[in-house]
Amino acid sequence: MQVAIADTGEGMDTETSRHIFEPFFTTRDRAMFTGLGLSVVYGIVSSHKGFIDVRSKPGEGTTLTLYFPAETPDAGTTVPEALPAAQARGGTETILVVEDEEMLRTLVKEVLTRAGYSVMFAVDGEDALRVYDAERSRIDLVLLDFGLPKLAGDEVLVALRERDPEVKVVFSTGYVRKEKSRELLTLGARGVVFKPYTVLDMLDTIRDVLDGVDPAVTAHPRE
């Protein structure tokens, strides 16, 4: 089965079309748009064993064709994977994702579970501490948004380290600058990924932290 969606807009060049399914990618003002829509679409289509074909040229609009299997594939049929095994660095650990945006929680869960991880969620700073207190023995890493309701991300980090000085925390944020990211590492964060980041940026940082690689700032830090 296939579904085609077309527009008569400005279209995209080849380089832009290569990035449209990356989380937070946008060609517009990042203060206004987060660019999550197509990443979520890609995750949903992939979860149904489908794939998306993109046809676009500058000045000629864009056509997205979504393909879905009409029936269960026969043994030996190759189905495109959302994360190629040769590239994705996954694992089997449990990750607590602290994120207040529902769409982003859906996307991150899709990415992490496809990479082999188990996922827990908290929706604000206080909820993060509650979940961590209840499930501490099962949680291997905390993926923590910085701009959270009730308790900010850096406050959550301090509280987590009071509970366990060895807790592994990776910040995911689009709001802090380089100086603040260094401060977060000084406070005990093991890594920082900046929005917009790619799926592989996030997975590589998580894997490095779980494997004990030195703290790092990854993706696109703001000046």
pLDDT digits (tens, 9 = 90+) for 124-155: 999 999 999 999 999 999 999 888 899 999 99
Which of 140, 149, 191, 196 has its CA nearest to residue 170? 191
Residue intervals of the chain classified under CATH 3.40.50.2300 are 94-219
pLDDT digits (tens, 9 = 90+) for 192-202: 887 666 677 78
Residue intervals of the chain classified under CATH 3.30.565.10 are 2-67
- CATH topology for the 2-67 domain: Heat Shock Protein 90 (3.30.565)
Query: pLDDT band for position 219 (50/70/90)?
Result: very low
Phi, psi of 205, deg, nearest 5: -65, -45
pLDDT digits (tens, 9 = 90+) for 1-47: 778 888 888 888 877 877 777 666 667 655 444 555 676 677 677 66
- CATH topology for the 94-219 domain: Rossmann fold (3.40.50)
The DSSP result for 92-128, as a single string, is S-EEEEE-S-HHHHHHHHHHHHHTT-EEEEESSHHHH
More confident residue, 68 or 95: 95
pLDDT at site 20: 76
